[in-house]
Chain A
């Protein structure tokens, strides 16, 4: 990132800015500087669920090299990680653990739902044991489709996430105002997960057939 990005959002006229830059002075907002630093060092969690995990590992190896974007530091413990890449099928047995790990991560934290399974259940959606999208329980920042997505796509999703981080406002973003976000851990009751979704982050879509009948009768 260049100084242009750092100087973004300042009410300086161009002459003053270039004069300052020539003198080696960068004038910036705290937000821009802070987001620039955080976006360049997103530490993902070493967290593989299924097939997509292999492509996530591949994105960290020599050919794709995620460290070009500052995210090569995979941390095994959620307490040191910023980014959770939900890589693979989340089953109903695994969903409580995923939410629990999310709860343990410190703020600010982000989630990438990697692969069709993590987004919506994917090819296994018809099964009785597969969660139909991890966004029912935790907020997802970037959806990364594919079955599995290519390592290049992992890098692209990271770029999207960095763009998102760049626009975060420290004063109003929930990551900074709400404290550590923790959501209720679902419980597997043998038949289904209880609760079936977390209403704070997901609501079932409205059924188009449930329209009020006023027009039809009128």
Chain B
């Protein structure tokens, strides 16, 4: 038996089966291949079991909110791209929605259809990449991620044709879109959407009943329905815990009331990593349904209403929110009569979904903590802002 002095001062000794052992503290990150960016977890381990976990973030804090408070309303549109850098289109949309509420701008119908198409394509990009990274965290290095990125490239091509940029699209404007899509774009989009289910079939066949994935994810990182609701979790993670809540259905913002689609959610008995993975797989199918209806229903017309580029809204406060692929993304603006917002606040789904990480990881193995983090689907640009 070693004396207590031989052990580093911060380690506490615990008695187990008559043996004195010490807890192991591991600092995972910020440079760690599986932490999805510059995120750090300070983990206390008893053997391999997590007994305490402290998330540390702020390594990518880029002063998004303060920068936005020092420029015109339209000026911070490109910065919203860089919040959740997988989903620039939905970030744009949430911000445009908030500002449109503030100055009461009407959006033309064609622009609304194109917004829905862009947002659902973004959802496909996000979920397909997330599943790739998630399986990557499980240890299947390569194949699923490469398949996912192959499909992602096809959708990014569409974004590039429409907006000129692959990732940072900066495509939305207050009152519509920056420009109309080029000729033939809708046909190409239809082609991509029609072929996507073929890939999804292959992907599901490969992953959904894979024995290793089942045994690694089932019963791991359970999130109860009550905790999910009280912690303010949104998005696929909330639906995997058995709550039927989707802002597309609740708010019916834009023209989502025109489309037939279902919201996949579980019965809420388990809420483990596998549920979260499956909810996303099913959501992609529903996105394709919306996309098909939107591509059929879109008509001709202008894509940008009469919105001034610089405006001075009357003093007011607004909150605009959309169902981003990761959850409820909201922008809260306070106007004080100047061309700049007095307060600009982002409600990031990634950060709020991350708050239950500790509850889900306690008692799990350290290797599972990695995949629990993967199943939350965080992007550090949004967590730290």
Which A positions have Cβ atoms within 8 angstroms of B? Answer: 46-51, 53-55, 57-58, 61-63, 76, 88-89, 91, 93-94, 97, 101, 123-124, 126-130, 147-148, 150
- A147 CA to B381 CA in the complex, in Å? 14
- For residue A124, give the distance in angstroms from its CB to the closest CB of chain B: 4
A-B interface, 3 closest residue pairs, ranked by CB to CB distance from nearest: A127-B63, A51-B85, A61-B149
Which B positions have Cβ atoms within 8 angstroms of A? Answer: 30-33, 37-38, 58-63, 66-67, 70, 78-79, 82, 85-86, 145-146, 149-150, 152-153, 166-168, 380-381
Complex partner residue of B78 from A47, A50, A123, CB under 8 angstroms = A123
- A139 CA to B96 CA in the complex, in Å? 41
Q: Is the CB of B167 within 8 A of A49?
A: no
Complex partner residue of B167 from A51, A63, A123, CB under 8 angstroms = A51
Name 6 interchain pairs, CB-CB below 8 A, sorted by A.
A49-B37, A76-B32, A88-B60, A94-B60, A123-B78, A150-B166
Q: Is the CB of B33 within 8 A of A58?
A: no
Complex partner residue of B168 from A47, A51, A62, A89, CB under 8 angstroms = A51
Q: Is the CB of B381 within 8 A of A62?
A: no
Q: Is the CB of B38 within 8 A of A58?
A: no
Q: Is the CB of B149 within 8 A of A123?
A: no
Q: Is the CB of A55 within 8 A of B62?
A: no
- For residue A68, give the distance in angstroms from its CB to the closest CB of chain B: 15
List chain A residues, Cβ under 8 A from B78.
Answer: 123
List chain A residues, Cβ under 8 A from B58.
Answer: 91, 93
**Given A58-B153, A94-B38, A97-B30, does the pair A127, B67 have CB atoms closer than 8 Å?**
yes
Closest A residue by C-beta to B71: A126
Closest B residue by C-beta to A95: B59
List chain B residues, Cβ under 8 A from A147.
Answer: 168
Complex partner residue of A46 from B33, B149, B166, CB under 8 angstroms = B33
10 additional A-B residue pairs with CB within 8 Å, beyond A88-B60, A97-B59: A50-B38, A51-B168, A57-B149, A58-B149, A101-B31, A123-B78, A124-B63, A126-B67, A127-B66, A127-B67
Complex partner residue of B60 from A54, A91, A101, A148, CB under 8 angstroms = A91
- A50 CA to B168 CA in the complex, in Å? 13
List chain B residues, Cβ under 8 A from A150.
Answer: 166
- A48 CA to B133 CA in the complex, in Å? 14
- A129 CA to B384 CA in the complex, in Å? 12
- For residue A102, give the distance in angstroms from its CB to the closest CB of chain B: 11
List chain A residues, Cβ under 8 A from B168.
Answer: 51, 147-148
Q: Is the CB of B31 within 8 A of A47?
A: yes
- A51 CA to B60 CA in the complex, in Å? 10
List chain A residues, Cβ under 8 A from B146.
Answer: 61-62
Q: Is the CB of A61 within 8 A of B145?
A: yes
Q: Is the CB of B167 within 8 A of A54?
A: yes
- A95 CA to B57 CA in the complex, in Å? 14
Closest B residue by C-beta to A46: B33
- For residue B181, give the distance in angstroms from its CB to the closest CB of chain A: 21
- For residue A114, give the distance in angstroms from its CB to the closest CB of chain B: 13
**Given A55-B167, A148-B168, does the pair A91, B149 have CB atoms closer than 8 Å?**
no
List chain B residues, Cβ under 8 A from A61.
Answer: 145-146, 149-150, 153
List chain B residues, Cβ under 8 A from A93.
Answer: 58-59, 61
Q: Is the CB of A123 within 8 A of B150?
A: no
List chain B residues, Cβ under 8 A from A124.
Answer: 62-63, 67
List chain A residues, Cβ under 8 A from B381.
Answer: 50-51
Query: Quick one: which of A47, A53, A55, A88 has the most chain B CB within 10 A?
Result: A88
Closest A residue by C-beta to B63: A127
**Given A50-B380, A123-B79, A150-B166, does the pair A129, B30 have CB atoms closer than 8 Å?**
no
List chain B residues, Cβ under 8 A from A46.
Answer: 33
- For residue A151, give the distance in angstroms from its CB to the closest CB of chain B: 9
Complex partner residue of B62 from A48, A76, A129, A148, CB under 8 angstroms = A129
- A50 CA to B58 CA in the complex, in Å? 12
- A58 CA to B129 CA in the complex, in Å? 11
- For residue B36, give the distance in angstroms from its CB to the closest CB of chain A: 9
